[in-house]
Amino acid sequence: MHNISQRQASDAMPTDKSEHARFWRDARFRDMECMRATFITHEFSPHSHDTFSIGSIEAGCQMAMIRGAREMTGPGALYLINPGETHDGQPGAEDGYRYRMIYPDTQVFTEILEDVSGKVLHGAPSFQRQLISDPHLAEQFCRAHRAIEEGASALEGEESMYTVLLEIFSRHGAQIVAPPDHAEPMGVRRARDYIDAHYEEEISLDLLARIAGLSRAHLIRAFRKHYFITPHAYQTDLRIRRARRLLRRGAAPSETAMICGFADQAHLTRHFKARTGVTPAVFRAG
C-alpha cells in the first residue's frame, strides 16, 4: 500500500483553487495523448484505456481503485496502468490533487523502449504493479512532462521523456506473453464477448444472463469479480473508448454520440468527462 497521511497531503496541496485540465497530443511521440490537470471534486468513473496510462501526482492526494484494491497516493507515487485495466480516481482530500499523465499505445511504448535500449522486446511490455512509490522517478517523470508541455526543443523533450520511460520500465516493468485465462468462467466470458460485439446497441441484463447461463444477480457479481466492473459500466466504457478513436479522427461530438449508442451529445459528454476528465470537444481539439 502507498497510503499517505493527511498532513503529508496538506503540505503538498495544489496551488490552484479551481479545477482545470489541459489535454494535447504530442507529434514528437506519434501524437501520444498527454494531460496535466488539477481536480478538486471531479471523480473518475471506473474505466480503462486502449493505451498505457503513465503518470505521477505533483501535489495533493488521490484515492484510486485498481485491480479491485483501493489506495491513496500522493507526490512520489507513479501510476503504471496497463491497457485494458479498470481503474477510477477521486480526490483524497478536500483540496484535491494535481497530476501529469501520458497515454502511449503499446506499439509506441515498445518502439520507444527498443530505440532507447537498443534491445528487442520479446513479448509485450507490462507492469505488474500499478501504484508504486518511487520519488526519484516520479520527479524525473514530472520534469520530462513539463519539458514537453512547455515546448522544450525537440532534442531536449524527446531525450528527457525517452530516458525516464526506459528507466521506469527497467525498474518496474516486464515483458509479458500472456497465457490464456483458463480460470475465467465461460459463461461470464460469453457475456463479455456479447457486449464486445454489440456495445453500441441496447442490451438487457436478462439477455446477458441467458447468454451466460446465470441468474441476473449472479452475473453481475461474477462479472465484477473477474473484470472489476459491472456489465453496464463495461458497455459504457467500450462506448467511450470507441468515441475517443472517432474524435481523434475529427468526428463531431454529435455524430460520435449517435454512432456509439449514446442518447444524445449531452449523454456522451457526461460519461466522457467522467472517464477522461475533459469534454469531447476539448479532447477532439487537443
Domain 6-176 matching CATH 3.40.190.10: the answer reads no
Query: Which three cell numbers mark 177?
Result: 506473453
pLDDT tens, position by position, for the chain (286 residues)? Answer: 454 433 444 344 444 678 999 999 998 888 999 999 999 999 999 999 999 999 999 999 999 999 888 899 999 999 999 999 999 999 988 889 999 999 999 999 998 898 888 888 888 899 989 999 999 999 999 999 999 998 777 677 788 999 999 999 999 998 765 555 555 689 999 999 999 999 999 999 999 999 999 988 899 989 999 999 999 999 999 999 999 999 999 999 999 999 999 999 999 999 999 999 999 999 999 8
Query: Which three cell numbers mark 214?
Result: 446465470
Distance separating alpha carbons of residues 170 and 31, to the nearest angstrom: 24
Under 8 Å CB-to-CB from 179, ≥6 apart: which residues?
A: none
pLDDT value, residue 132: 93
* Interstrand relation of 124-127 and 62-66 (parallel, antiparallel or unpaired): unpaired
pLDDT value, residue 5: 39
**Domains 6-176 and 186-285 agree in fold:** no
Q: Which fold has domain 186-285?
A: Arc Repressor Mutant, subunit A (1.10.10)
**Greatest pairwise CA separation for the chain in angstroms:** 59
Under 8 Å CB-to-CB from 3, ≥6 apart: which residues?
A: 71, 72
Break the chain into its structural domains and give their ranges: 6-176, 186-285
Tally of CB atoms within 10 A around 91: 21
